[in-house]
Amino acid sequence: MVIKVFTASSSGSTAIKKKQQDVVGFLEALKVDYTQLDIACNEENRMWMRQNVPADKKPTSGIPLPPQIFNDEDYCGDYETFFDAKEDNSIHAFLGLAPPPGSKQAPAEEEEGQEEEAE
C-alpha cells in the first residue's frame, strides 16, 4: 500500500502551500511511507486526482484542490479530513493503515480480538 499525496509545486496560494507542507511534514514525522505527486507539472497526475476524488467529496466548484490523499486507489480525503483525523489521533485509520505497535489504537483492537475468542 502506498500513500499518495497530490500536491501542486507551483501553487500561487500560500494557504494551499501551508496545507501541503502540513500533510507532508506530519507523514514524515510519523515515518509513513508516501509518494508526493505533483499536479502542476504532470497532467496525468492532475487528471487522475480529479477523476478519483469521489463526486460527493468534490467542492461546489467541482475541481478538488491539493492536497488530496489516497491509499493506492482508495480515496482518504482532503486537508480538512486529514486535519480532523490528526486532531482525533486517528490518522492511521484515516490513511487505511494498521496502527503502529504500542499505539493507543493497537491494544484496543487486540482486546476486541481476545473478547471474541472468549465467546
66 secondary structure, DSSP code: S
98-107 per-position pLDDT tens digit: 988 877 665 4
* Range 22-51 average pLDDT: 96
Q: What is the pTM of this model?
A: 0.84
Closest C-alpha among 73, 80, 26, 28 to residue 54: 73
* Range 84-106 average pLDDT: 87
Give the pLDDT confidence score for residue 111 in this predicted structure. Answer: 47
* Beta bridge partners of residue 31, listed in sequence order: none
Q: Which residues have CB under 8 Å from 71's CB, separation 6+?
A: 1, 2, 3, 4, 95, 96, 97
Domain containing 32 equals 3-118
pLDDT exceeds cutoff 80 at 57:
yes
Number of domains making up the chain: 1
Kindly report the CATH number assigned to the domain that includes residue 33. Answer: 3.40.30.10
Give the pLDDT confidence score for residue 118 in this predicted structure. Answer: 47
* Range 101-118 average pLDDT: 55
